Amino acid sequence: MKTEASPTMNTHHAVCSIIPPYILDHMSQSNDAKVRRVAIEAIEQSAAARAVRRAMTMMAGFAAVPSPGAKRHRLVYDVENGGFAQLPGTLVRSEGDPKSEDPAVNEAYSGAGTTYNFYKRLFGRNSLDDRGMTLISSVHLGQKLNNAFWTGDQMCYGDGDGRIFIRFTKSLDVVGHELTHGVVSHTCNLEYQNESGALNEHLADVFGSLVKQWQRRQTVKKANWLIGADIMGPETSAKSLRTFTEDKAYENDALLGTDPQPKHLKNKYKGTADNGGVHINSGIPNHAFYLVAMELGGKAWEKAGRIWYKTMLKLTTTSQFTDMVETTSESAATLYGNGSLEYKAVAMAWKAVGF
């Protein structure tokens, strides 16, 4: 039987979730029976999500639901704690509807709108597919589910167990991250394994963070450069799922363990877990982006973000880290000039992480 990490498996459209498998695996070994139970539930739902995503690949032409008038269109559904078989659930809020009494509904609606506006206003991109794709979200997936997913045609959010994680709609960078997986699938469509998969996760982290920074109008120095800080529950000491800085997001946490992300090529993970380290090795290009943004200063979406967006449009399904290095340099030269401060900042950052 082939495993998810098998190099011969078609991971082109593997399911994208915000909680890495290594966190769920660590939780499943906990001495706390409740922690083990919610971890196993999340692992099972991840398997169900993979089945949904595989089905989407068989009918790709239907995955992008067009919107009325090819403009911003959001639909939020309530799965009412059902599983993937119940997707999308009951429609509870459509584009232009007043606020719901359910905060998860409002957060999913608002987060999708902010992400749409970010791509439209900064890059002229009309939704994930650049053709006005409807942004579909389903909330209250599963029972206290510790995860959020991009299935290939919609967003799905768990409520969290209230201890380790809280509701996943609460974090705008999580929403932006998962929706950016949709942008990636409609642009470079990076295969979800090994280095190309790490670049897929990297781009989702970069633009998820930029969506949050843009919404808050934060400069590079005011931004916290964390992914998932707003979903961390009261019983973990972890400050976030990941961090772009040289630090670890968590270390020796009783529930989550230690953040395994490297920040330098010499420490790259070379095993087969996590689809060849897609959530792990994304830490290397993540840190490079952070170094570029800090070197250029100001607001990260204005220059570093433009370079990375242009790069996303140029990459291919099998692009590797070296392709990312080369293409970001080309994009910086095209946008700002060969030898410009921006070009030098990109070169400096990649050198700092081992290229």
DSSP 140-199: S-TTT---EEE-SS-EEE----SSSB--GGG-HHHHHHHHHHHHHHTTT---SSHHHHHH
- 114 burial (CB, 10 Å; 0-12 / 13-18 / 19+) is middle
Residue 7 within any structural domain of the chain:
no
Assess whether pLDDT exceeds 90 at residue 30: no
Residues 138, 284, single domain; the answer is no
Mean pLDDT of the chain: 91
How far, in Å, CA of 142 to CA of 105, rounded?
15
Percentage of the chain lying above the pLDDT 90 cut: 79
* CA distances, 70 to each of 90, 98, 102, 127 (Å): 23, 21, 28, 9
pTM: 0.92
Picking from 136, 165, 185, the residue at the C-terminal end of a domain is 185
Asked if residue 182 lies in contact with residue 150, where contact means CB atoms within 8 angstroms, the answer is yes
Picking from 134, 164, 185, the residue at the C-terminal end of a domain is 185
Q: How far is CA 207 from the centre of its chain?
A: 8
How far, in Å, CA of 147 to CA of 156, rounded?
9
Residues 200, 129, single domain; the answer is no
Residues 96, 222, single domain; the answer is no
How far, in Å, CA of 38 to CA of 43, rounded?
9
131: CATH: 3.10.170.10
Assess whether pLDDT exceeds 80 at residue 54: no
Among the residue ranges 17-31, 129-143, 194-208, the one predicted with the least confidence is: 17-31
Assess whether pLDDT exceeds 60 at residue 4: no
How far, in Å, CA of 312 to CA of 59, rounded?
24
DSSP states of 25-89 as a string?
HHHHT-S-HHHHHHHHHHHHHHHHHHHHHHHHHHTHHHHSPBPGGGS--EEEEE-TT--GGGTT-
DSSP states of 7-30 as a string?
TTS--TT--EESS-HHHHHHHHT-
Residue 10 within any structural domain of the chain:
no
How far, in Å, CA of 60 to CA of 215, rounded?
32
Residue 45 within any structural domain of the chain:
yes
Residues 244, 329, single domain; the answer is yes
Residues 203, 163, single domain; the answer is no
Q: Which residues are catalytic?
A: 178, 279
Q: At what angle do helices 304-314 and 341-352 cross, to 10 degrees?
A: 70
Assess whether pLDDT exceeds 70 at residue 285: yes
268: CATH: 1.10.390.10
Q: At what angle do helices 283-296 and 194-216 cross, to 10 degrees?
A: 40
Residue 10: pLDDT band by 50, 70, 90 thresholds? very low
Lookup result for tokens 């380790």: 164
Residues 143, 269, single domain; the answer is no
User: Which run of H or of E encompasses 148?
Assistant: strand 148-150
Asked if residue 225 lies in contact with residue 290, where contact means CB atoms within 8 angstroms, the answer is yes
pLDDT, average across residues 39-46: 77
| Cβ neighbours around 98 below 10 Å, total | 6
State the virtual CA torsion across 6, 318, 60, 275 in degrees, nearest 10: 30
Residues 228, 178, single domain; the answer is no
Residues 167, 249, single domain; the answer is no
Among the residue ranges 17-31, 94-108, 120-134, the one predicted with the least confidence is: 17-31
Residue 113: pLDDT band by 50, 70, 90 thresholds? very high
pLDDT, average across residues 106-131: 98
Residue 83 within any structural domain of the chain:
yes
- Tens digit of each residue's pLDDT (9 = 90 or more) over 294-323: 999 999 999 999 999 999 999 999 999 999
Assess whether pLDDT exceeds 70 at residue 27: yes
Write down the pLDDT at residue 14: 58
Residue 84 within any structural domain of the chain:
yes
Q: How far is CA 343 from the centre of its chain?
A: 26
Picking from 185, 208, 241, the residue at the C-terminal end of a domain is 185
Residue 11 within any structural domain of the chain:
no
pLDDT, average across residues 282-305: 98
Write down the pLDDT at residue 3: 33
Higher per-residue pLDDT: 19 or 231: 231
Residues 260, 330, single domain; the answer is yes
Assess whether pLDDT exceeds 80 at residue 55: no
State the virtual CA torsion across 281, 4, 42, 75 in degrees, nearest 10: 90
pLDDT, average across residues 212-226: 98
Residues 118, 225, single domain; the answer is no
Residue 105 within any structural domain of the chain:
yes
Write down the pLDDT at residue 46: 66
How far, in Å, CA of 69 to CA of 197, rounded?
34
- Tens digit of each residue's pLDDT (9 = 90 or more) over 329-347: 999 999 999 999 999 999 9
Asked if residue 345 lies in contact with residue 290, where contact means CB atoms within 8 angstroms, the answer is no
Q: Which amino acid is at 134?
A: T
Residues 22, 90, single domain; the answer is yes
- Tens digit of each residue's pLDDT (9 = 90 or more) over 176-185: 999 999 999 9
Count of domains observed in the chain: 2
Residue 259 within any structural domain of the chain:
yes
Residues 176, 314, single domain; the answer is no
pLDDT, average across residues 187-201: 96
Domain that holds residue 220: 194-352
